[in-house]
């Protein structure tokens, strides 16, 4: 009912094209994340949806109605800004009261002193609403303070409270966590996800942090240069990226990319190694093989399919260890995930052997698009390498 | 050791200068205000509070206070209000902003004494452009306004020499001259208002520009307003050059434009009555001090410094 749909949205500032025809359907009640590097147009798209910016062409629909000509105040969307944008001269309670005052009270009822006397009942109801919302966000002890007296996390909650208090049809969030310190950011991720679950309202969330997108969203849209490259649930985007730039952007540490060749019979080779799955036979081209760190494992040097490398850096995350290894005398660099036990004997400068886990490699063509691979039918299998 | 005295070398120069050029003149003026000292006299008699009694009892000084307060309470609200209005208008235009800024700032840059001569011509009862413009309106619907009809019948006011009009005319010139300065201060203040706050206000449902002004602009300009009002008050109390240019012979028609600065100048410099001049100066300082303190106290509680 309140589903939001963006159709062929284009936006250019002068000669710079920021959005190149975006089509996006946002389902009712989902947590949709727009993620991409800075300058990809994700914030602009959100602001077009909010109405703070007009699209150069295309239409914005909310609940089946085109709202291009409807001003932001009348779209009934709530926005949480990166800088929180709380009114610094008002207390938290007054900040949260503002959207209610402006929407639910008439001009005379908003007058100072006289207003509250005229509409005592209404004011009591609004104050009750503010109290309720504050309780949900656990900021009720802070209601009498001004934004300047709060910490970053508390301000963030207050901004959220101001958005929540009037039950909008969707929340728009523009990098709301990027001003918080790392620990709080991770904590707020789970809180936002929980909040989304309990409210059941549509969330449209903009971030440049792929981890936020992966952890919170129902679906995520990866944007680059004004295009949506891939839209889907986080699992799918992570495990099955359709473009090399999506694969590179999503996931930490970054996916390992190795140069390879696709031969005429459809086999993909990297040096002496040949992938077990094949693509449709065609002409021979050079391709890029993507392997995530967890798709590589340390093996004995005697292993037939082992690759050799030299450890350049050991990144210790406690539960996991990432070994950054150089191959072919530094021409190639890969990251391998290992458990602390496996990597206990490895130190920087050591030569190591590692192998890929079968069936995980992703192959991208020269244009960056994914090349589909299929398992070989068993009877035609012949050992090639 | 000498270490123990090092701090004197750091604070010493500032302390000495502050004492010599700020505190001592005020102290001397205060002492002098209790005497009948004249420049050139070998000594002076201690007259106690006589000078102050004169200031608060004689009708000349009552006129002085009257003229000063009329001027101040016309110029301050008008030039602050117009300054803010002009700043908001200029801020909202995309084109010609710099053009308007320059125009409104011109009177501030121009020497007021030179501008006074121009105004004197413009306001001249017979050859001045103002009254001759007003006369061309005679015989039209404007005559339904009694004041206008009277003007047509007899003559339009002698703006600068009629005691009912003189102080207001001078105050008008003060506003004309001063609001451009306030506009520039407000323009600077407006640039520091975060744009996101306007967007937040829009999302919160502030549909009219008045609502956005009340919710964002005015509160965010709080610190600027404190500064602008204080500085305008002080500048208005200090008005002197227009009065001196229009009425070199003492304070306008029946002393209706006898502002404090002019009184100090007339008593202490022209008539060489240092004692009474110093007393007016002290009263003047007290006023300015009082206003500044009241204002800081009043506004500081409500103003938010981000």
Here the CATH number for the domain that contains residue A119 is: 3.40.50.300
Could you tell me if residue A385 is inside a domain?
Answer: no
**Touching B: A residues 226-255, CB under 8 Å:** none
What is the token pair recorded at A337?
Answer: 């995930």
Could you tell me if residue A323 is inside a domain?
Answer: yes
**Touching A: B residues 90-109, CB under 8 Å:** none
Residue A376: pLDDT band by 50, 70, 90 thresholds?
A: low
Whether residue A299 sits in one domain with residue A177? no
Could you tell me if residue A382 is inside a domain?
Answer: no
- The torsion defined by the Cα of B194, B197, B199 and B200, in degrees rounded to 10, comes to 160
Can you tell me the mean pLDDT for A85-97? Answer: 90
Can you tell me the mean pLDDT for A136-157? Answer: 88
- For residue A134, give its domain range: 4-246
Whether residue A156 sits in one domain with residue A12? yes
| pLDDT (tens digit per residue) in B46-89 | 888 888 888 888 888 888 888 898 899 999 999 999 999 999 99
Are B216 and B203 in contact by the 8 Å Cβ rule? The answer is no
- Extended strands (E) in chain B: none
| pLDDT (tens digit per residue) in A252-269 | 889 999 888 888 888 888
Nearest to A85 among B197, B211, B304 (CB): B197
Whether residue A206 sits in one domain with residue A281? no
**Beta sheet of A219-224, edge-to-edge order:** A77-80, A170-174, A202-207, A31-35, A219-224, A227-232
Residue B96: pLDDT band by 50, 70, 90 thresholds?
A: confident
**Final residue in a domain of this structure, among A193, A212, A246:** A246
Asked if B220 lies within 8 A of A88 by C-beta distance, the reply is yes
pLDDT(A154) > 80: yes
Residue B306: pLDDT band by 50, 70, 90 thresholds?
A: very low
Q: Is A50 on the interface with B (CB under 8 A)?
A: yes
SS3 at position A342? coil
A277, A231, A287: which is closest to A381 by C-alpha?
A: A277
Contacts 24+ apart (CB under 8 A), B38-42: B38/B272, B38/B273, B38/B274, B38/B275, B39/B272, B39/B274, B40/B272
**Final residue in a domain of this structure, among A246, A274, A307:** A246
Determine the Cα–Cα distance for residues A366 and A370; give it in Å rounded to an integer: 9
Whether residue A240 sits in one domain with residue A278? no
pLDDT at residue B223 in the model? 84
Predicted-complex ipTM score:
0.82
Half-sphere exposure of B259 (CA within 13 A, CB side): 27
Asked if A85 lies within 8 A of B196 by C-beta distance, the reply is yes
Q: Which residues of B touch A146 (CB under 8 A)?
A: 304
**What is the percentage of chain A residues whose pLDDT exceeds 70?**
97
Q: What is the mean pLDDT of chain B?
A: 85
Helices (H), chain A: 42-50, 92-104, 114-118, 120-137, 152-164, 182-199, 210-216, 234-239, 244-249
Q: Is B199 on the interface with A (CB under 8 A)?
A: yes
Can you tell me the mean pLDDT for A181-196? Answer: 88
Residue A80: pLDDT band by 50, 70, 90 thresholds?
A: very high
Can you tell me the mean pLDDT for A6-11? Answer: 91
Whether residue A274 sits in one domain with residue A133? no
Could you tell me if residue A376 is inside a domain?
Answer: no
Asked if A73 lies within 8 A of B197 by C-beta distance, the reply is no
Could you tell me if residue A383 is inside a domain?
Answer: no
**Final residue in a domain of this structure, among A246, A268, A285:** A246
Domain count, chain A: 2
Are B243 and B266 in contact by the 8 Å Cβ rule? The answer is no
Are B295 and B80 in contact by the 8 Å Cβ rule? The answer is no
Here the CATH number for the domain that contains residue A294 is: 2.40.50.140
pLDDT at residue A219 in the model? 93
Residue A379: pLDDT band by 50, 70, 90 thresholds?
A: very low
Determine the Cα–Cα distance for residues B39 and B274; give it in Å rounded to an integer: 7
Asked if A73 lies within 8 A of B222 by C-beta distance, the reply is no
Q: Is A120 on the interface with B (CB under 8 A)?
A: no
**What is the percentage of chain B residues whose pLDDT exceeds 90?**
21
Could you tell me if residue A203 is inside a domain?
Answer: yes
What is the distance, to the nearest Å, from the Cα of residue B54 to the centroid of all Cα atoms in its chain?
25
Q: Is B76 on the interface with A (CB under 8 A)?
A: no
Whether residue A235 sits in one domain with residue A301? no
Residue A381: pLDDT band by 50, 70, 90 thresholds?
A: very low
Q: Which residues of A touch B202 (CB under 8 A)?
A: 52, 71-73
Q: What angle do CA B9, B13, B16 make, to 5 degrees?
A: 125
Q: Counting one residue from A and one from B, how many pairs have CB atoms under 8 Å apart?
A: 64
Could you tell me if residue A102 is inside a domain?
Answer: yes
The nearest CA of chain B is from the CA of A234 a distance in Å of: 30
pLDDT at residue A356 in the model? 85
Whether residue A235 sits in one domain with residue A265? no
| pLDDT (tens digit per residue) in A30-54 | 999 999 998 888 999 999 999 998 9
Whether residue A164 sits in one domain with residue A91? yes
Could you tell me if residue A380 is inside a domain?
Answer: no
Asked if A72 lies within 8 A of B216 by C-beta distance, the reply is no
Q: Which residue of B has its CA nearest to A73?
A: B205
| pLDDT (tens digit per residue) in A98-123 | 998 888 888 888 777 787 888 888 88
pLDDT(B255) > 70: yes
pLDDT at residue B303 in the model? 59
Tell me which of B4-13, B65-74, B157-166, B270-279 is least confident. Answer: B157-166
pTM of this prediction?
Answer: 0.81
Q: Which residues of B touch A52 (CB under 8 A)?
A: 199, 202-203
| pLDDT (tens digit per residue) in B125-174 | 778 888 888 888 777 777 787 888 887 877 777 778 778 888 888 889 88
Neighbours of B122 (CB within 10 A): 15
Whether residue A261 sits in one domain with residue A232? no
Determine the Cα–Cα distance for residues B251 and B242; give it in Å rounded to an integer: 11
Whether residue A351 sits in one domain with residue A293? yes
Whether residue A346 sits in one domain with residue A207? no
Test the A interface: residue of B193, B194, B200 with most A CBs within 10 Å? B200
Can you tell me the mean pLDDT for A138-166? Answer: 89
Whether residue A89 sits in one domain with residue A65? yes
Q: What is the mean pLDDT of chain A?
A: 87
């Amino acid at each position: 009912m309140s589903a939001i749909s963006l159709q062929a949205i284009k936006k250019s500032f002068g000669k710079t094209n920021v959005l190149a025809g975006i089509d996006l359907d946002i389902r009712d009640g989902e947590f949709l994340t727009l993620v991409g590097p800075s300058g990809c147009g994700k914030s602009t798209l959100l602001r077009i949806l909010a109405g703070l910016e007009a699209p150069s062409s295309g239409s914005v629909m909310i609940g089946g109605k085109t709202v291009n000509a409807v001003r932001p105040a009348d779209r009934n969307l709530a926005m949480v800004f990166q800088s929180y944008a709380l009114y610094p001269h008002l207390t938290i309670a007054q900040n949260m009261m503002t959207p209610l005052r402006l929407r639910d009270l008439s001009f005379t009822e908003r007058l100072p002193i006289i207003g509250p006397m005229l509409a005592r009942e209404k004011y009591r109801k609004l104050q009750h609403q503010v109290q309720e919302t504050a309780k949900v966000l656990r900021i009720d002890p802070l209601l009498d303070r001004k934004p300047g007296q709060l910490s970053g996390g508390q301000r963030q909650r207050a901004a959220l409270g101001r958005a929540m208090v009037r039950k909008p049809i969707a929340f728009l969030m523009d990098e709301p966590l990027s001003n918080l310190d790392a620990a709080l950011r991770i904590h707020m991720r789970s809180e936002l996800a929980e909040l989304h679950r309990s409210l059941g309202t549509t969330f449209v969330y903009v971030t440049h942090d792929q981890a936020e997108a992966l952890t919170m969203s129902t679906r995520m849209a990866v944007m680059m240069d004004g295009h949506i490259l891939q839209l889907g649930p986080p699992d799918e985007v992570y495990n099955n990226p359709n473009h090399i730039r999506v694969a590179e952007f999503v996931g930490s540490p970054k996916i390992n990319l190795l140069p390879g060749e696709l031969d005429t019979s459809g086999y993909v080779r990297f040096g002496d190694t040949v992938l077990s799955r094949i693509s449709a036979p065609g002409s021979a081209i050079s391709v890029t093989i993507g392997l995530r760190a967890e798709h590589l494992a340390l093996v004995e040097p005697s292993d037939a399919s082992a690759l050799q490398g030299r450890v350049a850096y050991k990144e210790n995350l406690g539960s996991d260890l990432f070994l950054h290894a150089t191959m072919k005398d530094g021409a190639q660099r890969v990251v391998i995930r290992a458990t602390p036990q496996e990597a206990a004997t490895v130190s920087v400068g050591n030569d190591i052997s590692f192998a890929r886990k079968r069936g995980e490699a992703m192959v991208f063509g020269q244009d960056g698009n994914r090349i589909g691979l299929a398992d070989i039918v068993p009877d035609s299998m012949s050992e090639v390498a | 050791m000498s270490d123990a005295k090092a701090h004197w070398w750091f604070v010493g120069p500032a302390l000495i200068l502050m004492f010599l050029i700020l505190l001592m003149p005020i102290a001397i003026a205060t002492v002098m205000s209790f005497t009948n000292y004249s420049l050139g006299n070998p000594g002076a008699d201690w007259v106690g509070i006589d000078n102050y009694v004169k200031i608060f009892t004689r009708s000349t000084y009552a006129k002085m206070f009257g003229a000063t307060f009329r001027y101040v309470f016309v110029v301050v609200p008008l030039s602050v209000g117009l300054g803010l209005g002009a700043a908001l208008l200029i801020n909202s235009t995309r084109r010609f902003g710099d053009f308007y800024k320059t125009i409104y700032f011109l009177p501030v840059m121009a020497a007021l004494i030179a501008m006074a001569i121009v105004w004197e011509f413009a306001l001249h009862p017979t050859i001045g452009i103002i009254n001759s413009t007003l006369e061309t309106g005679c015989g039209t619907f404007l005559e339904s306004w009694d004041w206008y009809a009277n003007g047509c019948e007899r003559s339009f006011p002698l703006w600068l020499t009629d005691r009912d009009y003189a102080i207001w005319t001078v105050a008008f010139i003060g506003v004309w001259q001063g609001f451009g300065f306030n506009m520039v201060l407000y323009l600077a203040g407006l640039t520091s208002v975060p744009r996101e706050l306007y967007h937040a206000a829009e999302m919160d449902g502030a549909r009219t520009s008045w609502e956005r002004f009340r919710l964002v602009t005015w509160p965010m300009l709080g610190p600027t307003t404190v500064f602008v009002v204080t500085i305008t008050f002080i500048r208005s109390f200090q008005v002197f050059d227009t009065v001196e240019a229009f009425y070199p012979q003492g304070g306008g028609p029946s002393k209706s434009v006898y502002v404090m600065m002019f009184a100090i100048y007339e008593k202490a410099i022209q008539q060489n009555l240092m004692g009474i001049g110093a007393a007016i100066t002290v009263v003047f300082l007290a006023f300015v001090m009082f206003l500044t303190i009241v204002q800081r106290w009043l506004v500081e509680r409500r103003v938010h410094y981000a």
